[in-house]
């Protein structure tokens, strides 16, 4: 019953066995995968994957790493892709002050312009936030009123998670919640409302235990879901059903 709410199956690390990886996901019982774009080329590949595979849905957007490459014409293309039924969100978008691969002012401008596209389309947004909590929240509060979306691979505090939820957003957990040292993230997973929780792989990155150190793939989302269920003290099936329902609700899938 699981739904991988954030993957990058268009990444070159899947070039040798992409179809087999997708087949393993279906065999593992996944009912869906959101493939998130990271740049215009990646977004185009994401759309193509969604058109080819029933299990895959696409998000399109410009990651903060690539914000410096954004062109004025890109925003119209992001909107145009949403004429296709399986394109369900703008993402992933946001701020990354850890790597700073694009100037921070440029990251913010591109983030805001993509939020505006989402507002015009009434589509959810998928937010990347690394070491930029304050500016991300400030921009969301000012620019994203009335929108919903998800803070993917959440890395903030419980207090921040509560604020994110108060603003109408969801919180998604990836492989790091399975790491023994990440007690803060386990606390968040244990205490946020069940109806605001998603699970993801962010593959090929952030592989959960027990496969940490190897390439991640959608079938591994069950290990993240199992750990979230464990820290919440609930049955895996209850967690899986809720997280999948939340993903479908957020992205308007099968409603």
Residue 113 · residue 105 · CB < 8 Å: no
Q: Provide CB contacts within 8 A for 38, sequence distance 6+.
A: 8, 61, 62, 63, 65, 66, 92
The response to whether 128 counts as a known ligand-binding position is yes
Please report, for residues 22, 43, 124, 162, 207, the alpha-carbon distance to residue 157 in angstroms, rounded to integers and kept in the order given.
33, 30, 23, 9, 21
The response to whether 92 counts as a known ligand-binding position is yes
Residue 43 · residue 89 · CB < 8 Å: no
Can you point out the beta strands (E) in 131-196? Answer: 149-151, 170-173
The response to whether 220 counts as a known ligand-binding position is no
The response to whether 152 counts as a known ligand-binding position is yes
Neighbouring C-beta atoms of residue 115, cutoff 10 Å: 23
Residues of each annotated binding site? 6, 8, 92, 128, 152, 202
Residues of each annotated binding site for a divalent metal cation? 6, 8, 92, 128, 152, 202
């Amino acid at each position: 019953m699981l739904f991988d709410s954030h993957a990058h199956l268009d990444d070159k690390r899947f070039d040798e066995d992409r179809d087999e990886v997708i087949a393993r996901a279906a065999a593992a019982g996944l009912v869906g995968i959101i493939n998130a774009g990271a740049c215009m080329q990646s977004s185009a590949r994401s759309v193509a994957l969604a058109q080819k595979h029933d299990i895959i849905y696409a998000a399109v957007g410009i990651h903060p790493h690539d914000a410096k490459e954004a062109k004025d014409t890109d925003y119209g293309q992001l909107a145009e892709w949403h004429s296709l039924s399986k394109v369900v969100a703008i993402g992933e978008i946001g701020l990354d002050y850890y790597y700073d691969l694009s100037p921070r002012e440029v990251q913010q401008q591109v983030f805001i312009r993509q939020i505006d596209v989402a507002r015009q389309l009434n589509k959810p947004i998928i937010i990347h936030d690394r070491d930029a909590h304050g500016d991300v929240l400030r921009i969301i509060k000012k620019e994203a009123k009335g929108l919903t979306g998800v803070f993917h691979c959440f890395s903030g505090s419980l207090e921040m998670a509560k604020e994110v939820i108060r603003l109408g957003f969801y919180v998604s957990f990836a492989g790091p919640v399975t790491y023994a040292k990440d007690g803060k993230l386990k606390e968040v997973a244990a205490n946020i409302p069940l109806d605001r929780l998603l699970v993801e792989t962010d593959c090929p990155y952030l592989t959960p235990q027990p496969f940490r150190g190897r390439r991640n793939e959608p079938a591994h989302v069950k290990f993240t879901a199992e750990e979230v269920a464990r820290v919440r003290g609930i049955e895996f099936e209850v967690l899986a059903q809720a997280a999948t329902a939340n993903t479908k609700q957020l992205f308007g899938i099968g409603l």
